[in-house]
Amino acid sequence: MNRRTLLGSLAASGHLSGAPALGFGAAALQEQLAALSLYGRPADGTFASGVTRIGYSNADIAARAFITGLMENAGVLYSKS
């Protein structure tokens, strides 16, 4: 089962009815995931190649900074522990 099938099943069953609506579309999410996949992607790899990010590696730290930037730009309050 992939994410699309899972989310479609949950939506159809009403399990997502109380969830807040996303403030952006699927294309924006895909774009952000593709950008995130650059951190830890194999050399000459594509989005479909997947990623490997070992904890606290340069790729992991850069990916965390990328996500932090997205959250700050969206006005999300967060804390690090």
44 vs 23: CA distance, rounded Å: 32
* Residue 14 confidence (pLDDT): 64
**C-alpha distance from residue 74 to each of 46, 53, 68 (Å):** 27, 24, 10
* Residue 34 confidence (pLDDT): 92
- pTM (2 decimals)? 0.66
* Residue 50 confidence (pLDDT): 92
N- to C-terminal Cα separation, the chain: 33
* Residue 41 confidence (pLDDT): 94
- pLDDT tens digits, one per residue of 69-81: 999 998 888 888 8
- pLDDT tens digits, one per residue of 34-69: 999 999 999 999 999 999 999 999 999 999 999 999
